[in-house]
Amino acid sequence: MSDAESADAGAADPSEHDQEAVDEDADTDAYTGSGEKRREDAALLSGRAEYTDDREPPGTVHLAFVRSEHGHADLEEIDTSAAEAMDDVLGAYTWADVEASPSPGRLQPPGLDRDVPAHPVLATDRVRYHGQPVAVVVAEDRYRARDAAAAVDVEYDPLEAVVDPETAATDSEAPRLFEAAPDNIATTAELGDRDATEEAFAAADRTVSIDLENNRLISSALEPRAAIGEFDPDEGFTVTVTSQSPHGHRRKLAHTLGVREGEVRVVSPRVGGGFGHKGHHHPGEAMAAWCARELEVPVKWTATRSGNYLEGAHGRDHRTTAELAIDDDGTIRGLRAETYASVGGYGLGSGARMPVRYGRLLSSQYAIDAIHCETRAVFTTTAPIHSYRGAGRPEAIYVTERLIDVAADELGLDPVELRRRNLISPEAFPYETPVGATYDSGDYEPAMDKALEAIGYDERTDATGADDGRLRGVGIANYVESTGGGFESGLVRVLPDGDVAVYAGTHSHGQGHETTYAQLVADALERPIDRIQVSEGDTAAIPTGTGTFGSRSTIVGGNAVVESAEKVLAKARRIAATELGVDSAQIGYEDGTFAVSGANDSVSAEAVSGADETVSFEDIADTAYGWGLPDDLEPGLESTTFYDLDGAAYTFGTHACVVAVDPDTGDVELERYFAVDDCGERVNPLIVEGQVHGGVAQGIGQARYEQVAYDDDGTLLTETMDSYGVPRAADLPSIETDSTVTPSPLNELGVKGIGEAGTIAAPPAVVNAVCDALDITHVDMPLTEEHVWRAISDQNEE
Amino acid sequence: MFPPSFDYHRASSVSEALSLLAELPDATLLAGGHALLPRLKNGRAEPGAVVDVSELPELIGVDVGSEATVVGAATTYATLLETGTEAGDADEESDAGGSVGDPTAGRSVLEQHAPAFLEATRAVGDRQIRNRGTVGGNLAEAHPESDLPAAALVADASVRIRGSGGEREVAVEEFLTGAFESAVGDDEIVTAVRIPHVDGWDGSNGGDAEENGSDRNEPTVDNGGAYVRKTHPTSGYAMVGVAVRVGIDDGVIASARVAANGVADTALRLSSVETALEGIDVTTEGVGERVTAAVENAPADVPEATRRGDVHASAEYRVSVLPTYVERAVRAAVDSTEAGSDGGPDSVGDSAPDSDSGRNGRRDQQGGEPR
Amino acid sequence: MSEHQISLTVDGERETLTVEGRTLLVHALREDLGVTAPKVGCETSKCGACTVELDGDVVKACTVLAVQADGKTVRTAASDTEDDVRSVVTQQFHEQHGLQCGYCTPGMVLTAADLLRENPDPTPSEIRASLKGNICRCTGYTNIVRAVESAASELEGTAAVAGDGGKTAAVDGSAPEGDD
Ligand SMILES: Cc1cc2nc3c(=O)[nH]c(=O)nc-3n(C[C@H](O)[C@H](O)[C@H](O)COP(=O)(O)OP(=O)(O)OC[C@H]3O[C@@H](n4cnc5c(N)ncnc54)[C@H](O)[C@@H]3O)c2cc1C
Ligand code: FES
Ligand code: FES
């Protein structure tokens, strides 16, 4: 789970039950595959649903951070005395206090070869990014915590900042963040075969190249991060966290607090969006818990929007030079890329290594013989970088899908035709790419054709032919998305009255697991959906799990709960066999009733109704917890599965869009946006579609509006929603969707993840369209009016 | 997120507010709060006291007289849009303060005399903001990217300011003294904005109504106006906003007032554009090119030292695209005149009615009278 | 620092409490009264998660002082849907999958209902423009727009949306004429 393959984001929830069931039974009553309306909606719509900040245990006090005003500085002195002297202030703490406590006080180790320290919860003697927590105050309420934080006096000795990763790594004058990393390089990795790639380039007819920046982003979930720390000397910590990964947070909190995992219970109620950053560990969660132990009262921390934006984790921030080796007939021979990726001021766990794995998707949908990718993850005096929805996949696909358009231009070939000539053929699966990914299944051309047809690609108007003076362009992006990494737990527990409680180690924060898992289990057990309850988000109740990110929940969580349901049903069948006095192979089951059915294990309708003896699911549940169980059966009716996918399931698709560019102002309008996605079987098409919409919106956000900006001193210029461009309704087109279905052979449900597809496909689709409209090779994201206008002006000058 | 501590006082009258301002150290006025409260929440202001004038009846209302419409400073955008666009009937006209426009045209007095001002008001912020933010607060805040200042300039509006020494009236041009700076003193209150009715070819309220043979609240000239803005990609304010008022005499632009916000520290008139527009015949072929030529020099009207930009839209960019937005606003303004509506210059394209067109990426809106 | 005793009606309940001058309405609701339907998503009055109705007008509760709400009536998304418009809007958000994490939803629903009361038949672009003050990071707005559109068609011809317009200017000139 800690690599780019699986790190992050709004995992979604497609799937379907196994192929045979669909084909043979054509069970039209199945919940799976239906657009079941979400069960979680009622509480959310009424405002009754509780998010972390909505909870307030009695006696809760509030924590506020004092944050660095500088991007890079030595800490000279921190004076908390004025704050401590204030009424209603319970405490003010600095690193010295943490150091003197039993807690190591560092976030998860970056896990790099270079011996750099892990992020301290409060700055030690130096700050390495604007907004790094320097001190913490605790007061009776939020307003007084704010006053106390304002009263803390910090003296800094500013140092030179460096915010660009390429500069940080290549400019010998650049300031150095850590002694152990003299060139600021945190880690380097190569993927693919350098020599083979060089040969391919030497043999190819032509080479095209491109320099591009993958802009730094902020996930911007609408709910800011929050945590409530509680400590009981006998029972340990209970930390209520806005978490995508409660068990992950438990492990990380235990590490930072210096206690055993068993001493930490993590509870995560409703979560208001995550997109990656709520899977990561930040100082806030840890300090809420640390202060709770210090003060023996519940301590709540809720990030302000700017606090959230300052401390990250941010995403993306790559500088890449990439080349494509191509023959005149359009055959792609090789691809190579060299990337500088920012880590930020500290490595946050796997976040520090994430960038160097991004190249694993560089093959996109194409059969390319040789690929080589060299990536340097670089410390800069900026907020830490970690996975943001997509987590390496968008960066890779952007490189390849941009390069192809550049190559098509160079060859004078239609970019769609160039793509078509290089697609991996449906017979080639499983397909192993030169950068170490094994695609499980795919059939790329039908999805592409669907998108092209929907957008009217063949009838598209000439870029200059529009009558309103605007330039039209069409952009296409193909993509693959690796989904389903890491194990997941699913527990299905039948209660004595026959109700079914489902527990999963994932944690929905918008993806609708309560509905999706209920659909799956209802079908597997042939029970009405309203007798199924789904719970997530409490480490005390749920078997150890992994969490919701990396478009993994339906694949691994879904298969885990289904497998558990199947095990439960097998046991129920054995109990029924005893009750009915036959061999369990003779027991048929349909719609909640077990019946004797001869030797056949699947039972027809008449068999059930014609049987003289039947027993209901409820009766079996009752028996399982009561008397009359056969000696060789344990009481109880539940099962836990730890499901692990062998490899990854590769979602794919084609997104296409039409833009109109105003040549006078650089204004871009997305006139159409059409997404065709293939995530295998879809458990709930409504939810899948919602995931596509949301992902595309964030992808268009990256392409058009979003850009984290630091000035040369390392001051964050985009600290608020006024300056960081989260798209509003009027900024986005209506997103149209369609699908193809190529099941994954790797899991029984045939599902693949869909949570990140839109963030992967949209940026290249939009940029390709604008480049087509302007007839230019490249323009960096975000395509603000000014960037586009400058691209037009530059072109006019040539 | 949490404002620093301050004393809150709700004034019961303008004079009480004035004495509170004088007495209390570091007191500041609170109207709609949509500039002040965000500033407090971000810790960029720490007033000792806040004097709330948002509900003072004296400061609320739209008073339509025969020569001018006077908008109370604490009138919210929503109230202005509601009352300022009411096309009343003859009965209402006899009410005190006159009120409301020509029933046959179905357009209110303000729509006829200062359409750009209403369009700019409609463009402000969002629904929730328009329910709270005030006309006086908008001008007093003097945000360089606010919508109302440019519209107030072309409306030839003036600002009424009351202090301990009495009331004075300052032309908007003099009122706007810099970015976030205005002529209102710390101990003073903006009480109203006066928008004169168009009553002469110079577009100002030069003559008196009687002399011009009109006692009705109708312009005696063919008057048109528009406000066109490009929404800032992140802040939602105006990256560039252009307000235009034109008077057409016999098919020819007899007077033009053009002002822009977003490009400089304050909203400002584009006088060379105004001059170049005057005399253009809008009824003949080739008007498009003549307008294009007339707006070309707009950048020259924006002094270098005052130009403004940010990380998303630099000063250079804003000033470079200014002529395009000026041109669109001029065309929309001409289209809104009688001369323009029957066969004016080439169509200016679609007009979107709300502050955002609702079309992604085309957040500039133009024309857009609620017809 | 001044303290003020204020009384207000929140979702039908009469409440009296003491607040500081600086206390924001959203904090008085959430912290002092435990009314957590309005959420906080930003500090720049931008996101609309805190939207409530104040004496019938949608406002951002993070940009109103609690003391300014003295004597007024606040309605949040948690209030009983006394009017058809909001209940239909709410229902359509569910039907059209117009919410994912739900954090924007209480504010979004109030703004959408406010739009429909004023303009019963908005175009998709008018809907998008009207939601400028409410940010949703999850849905991409496509299904939110659908929900508002289908609520509008559901409400067509019902009394709920007629005659309550004019709170702000009609955006398209087709203002209801107050015909009932
Ligand atoms: C998210 C957001 C988006 C916005 N978008 C736009 C936009 O697109 N266009 C736009 O024009 N504006 C926009 N605004 C600003 C909004 O219109 C404000 O309401 C306006 O700028 C200030 O008006 P107010 O009544 O809210 O003033 P307040 O915030 O109450 O006061 C602003 C300043 O003016 C002073 N003041 C207020 N009233 C008086 C008075 N009567 N006499 C003297 N001084 C006074 C105050 O002391 C304070 O210094 C936006 C605001 C926000 C929060
Ligand atoms: S919290 Fe009020 S607008 Fe964001
Ligand atoms: S549903 Fe999550 S922010 Fe709108």
Per-residue pLDDT, averaged over A284-313, amounts to 96
Measured between its terminal Cα atoms, the distance across chain C in Å is 49
For residues C92 and C53, state if they share a domain. no
Lowest mean pLDDT among A11-15, A29-33, C144-148: A11-15
Domains of chain B are 7-52 (3.30.43.10), 60-198+221-341 (3.30.465.10)
Residue C161 lies in a domain: no
Q: Give yes or no for residue B309 having a pLDDT over 80.
A: yes
Contact (CB<8Å) A304/B1 = yes
A-to-B residue pairs, Cβ atoms closer than 8 angstroms:
90
C58 and C11 part of one domain: yes
What pLDDT score does B94 carry? 36
High-pLDDT (> 90) share of chain C, %: 82
Given a cut of 90, whether residue B85 has pLDDT beyond it is no
Q: Would you call C43 and B1 a contact, using CB atoms and an 8 Å cutoff?
A: yes
Question: What number is the average pLDDT over the span C140-158?
Answer: 94
* Residue B104, CA distances (Å) to A616, B85, B101, B107 in order: 77, 14, 9, 8
Residue B215: per-residue pLDDT? 44
Q: Is the pLDDT of residue C159 over 70?
A: no
Average pLDDT, integer, range B98-123: 74
Shared-domain flag, residues C91 and C145: yes
Distance A551 CA to ligand 2 centre (A): 30
Confidence of residue B102 (pLDDT cuts 50, 70, 90): very low
Q: Which of residues 298-357 of B touch A (CB under 8 A)?
A: 310-314, 317, 320-321, 324-325, 349, 356-357
Instruction: Looking at the structure, tell me whether residues C103 and C144 fall in a common domain.
Output: yes
Report percent pLDDT > 70 for chain C: 87
**pLDDT (mean) for C116-128:** 96
Domain carrying residue C144: 84-156
Read off the pTM.
0.93
For the stretch A415-466, pLDDT in tens is 999 999 999 999 999 999 999 999 999 999 999 999 999 999 988 765 445 5
Least confident stretch, A342-356, B86-100, B236-250: B86-100
Asked whether residue A76 carries a pLDDT value surpassing 50, the answer given is yes
Give tens-digit pLDDT for A706-736: 999 999 999 999 999 999 999 999 999 999 9
Where among C75, C97, C129 does a domain terminate?
C75
> C180 lies in a domain?
no
Residue A486 has pLDDT above 80, yes or no: yes
The predicted structure's pLDDT at residue B93 = 37
CA–centroid distance, B7 to ligand 1, in Å, is 20
Tell me which chain C residues have a C-beta less than 8 angstroms from the C-beta of A758: 140
Task: For residue B152, give the H/E element and its range.
Answer: helix B148-154
Q: Are residues C128 and A758, on separate chains, in Cβ contact within 8 Å?
A: no
Could you give the CA distance from residue C100 to residue C120 in angstroms, rounded to a whole number? 25
Residue C97 near residue A690, CB atoms below 8 Å? yes
Within a domain: C67: yes
As assigned by CATH, the class of the A486-644 domain is alpha beta
Instruction: Tell me whether residues B41 and C43 touch, CB distance under 8 A.
Output: yes
Tell me if A161-435 shares its fold with A486-644: yes
Please check whether residue A215 touches B, CB under 8 A.
no
Q: Which ligand sits closest to the CA of B21?
A: 1
Distance in angstroms (rounded) separating the CA atoms of residues B220 and B212: 7
Helix (H) or strand (E) holding A540: none
> Nearest CA to CA, how far is C128 from chain B (Å)?
5
Task: Single out the residue of B223, B235, B178 nearest to residue B355, CA to CA.
Answer: B235
| Binding site membership of C137 for ligand 3 (Cβ less than 6 Å) | yes
pLDDT given at position A461: 63
Q: Is residue B216 over pLDDT 60?
A: no
Confidence of residue C27 (pLDDT cuts 50, 70, 90): very high
Structure confidence by residue, pLDDT tens digits, A305-358: 999 999 989 999 999 999 999 999 999 999 999 999 999 999 998 888 888 889
Do C68 and C7 share a structural domain? yes
| pLDDT digit string, tens, across residues A662-692 | 999 999 999 999 999 999 999 899 999 999 9
Q: Is C128 in the pocket of ligand 2 (CB under 6 A)?
A: no
Q: What's the gap in Å between the CA of A685 and the closest CA on chain C? A: 11
Chain B residues touching C57 at Cβ < 8 A: 78, 131
- pLDDT value of position A6: 38
* A718 with B311: Cβ contact below 8 A: yes
Helix (H, G, I), strand (E, B) or coil at A29: coil
Query: At C34, which CATH number?
Result: 3.10.20.30
Least confident stretch, A368-377, B195-204, B311-320? B195-204
As a whole number, mean pLDDT of residues A577-583 equals 90
d(CA B303, CA B252): 30
The pLDDT tens digits of the residues spanning A252-275 come to 999 999 999 999 999 999 999 999
pLDDT of residue C124: 97
Question: Which DSSP string corresponds to B277-304?
Answer: HTT-BTTSTTHHHHHHHHHTTGGGGS-G
Confidence of residue A630 (pLDDT cuts 50, 70, 90): confident
Average pLDDT over residues A567-573: 94
Q: Is B370 or B322 the better-scoring residue by pLDDT? A: B322
C175 inside 8 A of chain B by CB: yes
* Mean pLDDT confidence for A29-49: 92
Task: Give the pLDDT of residue A554.
Answer: 86
Given a contact cutoff of 8 angstroms between Cβ atoms, the answer to whether A116 and A186 are in contact is yes
Residue A446 is given by DSSP the state H
Share of chain B above pLDDT 90, in %: 73
CB A408 within 8 A of CB A771: no
C78 within ligand 3 shell (Cβ under 6 A): no
Cα–Cα dist A85/A80, whole Å: 9
Query: Is any Cβ of chain B less than 8 angstroms from the Cβ of A730?
Result: yes
Q: In terms of domains, do C71 and C90 share one?
A: no
Nearest ligand 1 atom to alpha carbon B123: 8
A19-23, A632-636, B25-29: least confident range: A19-23
Select from C75, C94, C127 the last residue of a domain. C75
Q: Is residue C122 part of a domain?
A: yes
pLDDT of amino acid B353: 34
Residue B350 has pLDDT above 90, yes or no: no
Residue B214 clears pLDDT 90, i.e. is over it: no
Quick one: pLDDT at residue B204? 47
Instruction: Take residue A366 and report the two structure tokens written for it.
Output: 């194409």
Predicted local confidence at residue B35, as pLDDT: 98
- From C18, C44, C75, the end of a domain falls on C75
Q: What is the CATH number of the domain that holds C128?
A: 1.10.150.120
Please determine, for residue A376, whether its predicted confidence score (pLDDT) is greater than 70: yes
The CATH number fitting domain A161-435, selected from 3.30.365.10, 3.30.870.10, 1.10.287.1080, 3.50.50.60: 3.30.365.10
Give yes or no for B234 touching A (CB within 8 A): yes
**A510, A689, A732: residue with CB nearest C141:** A732
Domain count, chain C: 2
The per-residue DSSP string of C12-28 comes to TEEEEEEEETT-BHHHI
Domain spans, chain A? 161-435, 486-644
Residues 736-795 of A with CB under 8 A from C: 758
The residue type found at A710 is Y
Q: Is the pLDDT of residue B348 over 50?
A: no
B118 to chain C: closest CA residue: C169
B97 pLDDT above the threshold of 60: no
End-to-end CA distance of chain B: 41
How far is the C-alpha of C120 from the C-alpha of B245, rounded, in Å?
32
pLDDT at A12: 37
| Residue spans of beta strands (DSSP E) within B88-216 | 158-163, 166-171, 176-178, 181-182, 189-196
What is the model's pLDDT at position B285?
87
Dist CA C87 CA C107 (whole Å) = 14
Contacts of C132 in chain B (CB under 8 A): 125-127, 236, 355-356
Question: Ligand 1 pocket check: which of B6, B15, B36, B187 to mutate, most ligand atoms within 8 Å of Cβ?
Answer: B36
Q: Comparing A171 with B284, which gets the higher pLDDT?
A: A171
Q: Which pLDDT score, from 0 to 100, does residue B200 have?
A: 59
Q: What is the mean pLDDT of residues A40-48?
A: 94
Residues of A in contact with B312 (CB under 8 A): 707, 723, 725, 784, 786
Span A398-424, pLDDT tens digits: 999 999 999 999 999 999 999 999 999
Contacts of range A582-591, beta carbons closer than 8 Å, 24 or more positions apart: A589/A526, A590/A526, A591/A526
The mean pLDDT of chain A is: 92
pLDDT in tens, C39-64: 999 999 999 999 999 999 999 999 99
Q: What is the mean pLDDT of residues A69-85?
A: 98
Establish how many alpha carbons lie within 13 A of residue A774's alpha carbon, considering only the half-sphere containing its beta carbon: 28
* pLDDT number for residue A508: 87
Contact C102 A41 (CB under 8 A): yes
Answer whether C125 touches B (CB < 8 Å).
yes
Q: Is residue C115 in a domain?
A: yes
Give C127's contacts in chain A (Cβ within 8 Å).
729
Q: What is the largest CA-CA distance in chain C?
A: 52
